[in-house]
Structure 1
Amino acid sequence: MLEAMSVLVGGALGGMLRLAIGDAAGRWLGLGFPWGTLVVNVSGALAMGLLAGWLGFPAEGAPSGAWALLGTGLLGGYTTVSSLSLQTLSLWQQERNIAAMGYMMATLAAGLAALALGAWLAGGLA
């Protein structure tokens, strides 16, 4: 029950943080491209790398209390595949095919690089 509550609280906080940071990034970088979701997903990947480096990568099975709260809850609520997918489809429907493909590639490449950087900064990768 404590683990479920940790995910619930972390997810609620992560969702609110996603809204605040995504909106701020969109206002700062412009609304013609889904910058807010890109910033959120890449910063979430960096945070996940830092978390994995500090706590160790989660083992198979049930996560620890810290993983439940921070990894599954907070960062799960913060990052978003559904928005990424919807915004990519929207770009595609607007016939902005290069922007749609670039958005997906940038998210994947920058996300993986940010995850590795976070884990390295936290001492999790040798």
Structure 2
Amino acid sequence: MNWLLVAAGGMVGAPLRYLTDRLVQSRHDTVFPWGTLAVNVTGCLILGLLTGAAPGSNLQLLLGAGLCGALTTYSTFSYETLRLAEDGAGLLAVANIVLSVSAGLGAAFVGVWVGGAL
């Protein structure tokens, strides 16, 4: 049963990641990967909220492992950062690393704090 919850969450998270990435990226005329940043920070916030609120294990599987697991993407973050560096945009690559890690951690901490207050 657990794997069904993860799969159901993933079925929502994966297309949501793709659509959000395309929507956000279409609004920016730059090579910086704003779409990937947006989905990763959002996923960190959602996971932080779940962790702080300490819901039942079924909700953690559905939303945490399933939705957030499919919504966020470390591989795309890594690939896009590498591409920026290879294309001569080293400062943007470093900015992507610093911004992604700090915003992701910040969103997770805020999520845990807000979730705990609920």
Q: TM-score by structure 1 length?
A: 0.87
Q: Which residue of 2 aligns with 1:59?
A: none
Deviation at 1:93, TM superposition (A): 0.7
Paired with 1:64 and 1:45, the residues of 2 have a C-alpha distance of 18
- What amino acid does structure 2 have at the position aligned with 1:10? G
Instruction: Tell me, yes or no, if structure 1 residue 117 matches structure 2 residue 113.
Output: no
Q: Deviations over 1:70-103 (max 9, x none)?
A: 1001100000001001101100110111110110
Instruction: Tell me, yes or no, if structure 1 residue 47 matches structure 2 residue 50.
Output: no
- What amino acid does structure 1 have at the position aligned with 2:19? A
**Superposition CA RMSD, Å:** 1.5
Q: Which residue of 2 aligns with 1:25?
A: 24
- Identify if the C-alpha distance between structure 1 residues 49 and 66 changes in structure 2 by more than 3 Å, giving closer, same or farther: same
Instruction: Tell me, yes or no, if structure 1 residue 90 matches structure 2 residue 83.
Output: yes
Deviation at 1:31, TM superposition (A): 4.3
Paired with 2:30 and 2:67, the residues of 1 have a C-alpha distance of 25
Point out where structure 1 has 5 or more consecutive residues left out of the alignment: 57-62
Q: TM-score by structure 2 length?
A: 0.92
Deviation at 1:29, TM superposition (A): 2.8
Paired with 1:23 and 1:66, the residues of 2 have a C-alpha distance of 28
Question: Helix, strand or coil for the counterpart of 2:31?
Answer: coil
Paired with 1:45 and 1:29, the residues of 2 have a C-alpha distance of 22
Deviation at 1:30, TM superposition (A): 3.1
Between the two proteins, the alignment pairs up a number of residues equal to 117
Deviation at 1:53, TM superposition (A): 1.2
Deviation at 1:9, TM superposition (A): 1.1
Matches within 5 A, 1:101-112: 101-112=94-105
Q: Which residue of 2 aligns with 1:78?
A: 71
Identical-pair percentage: 37
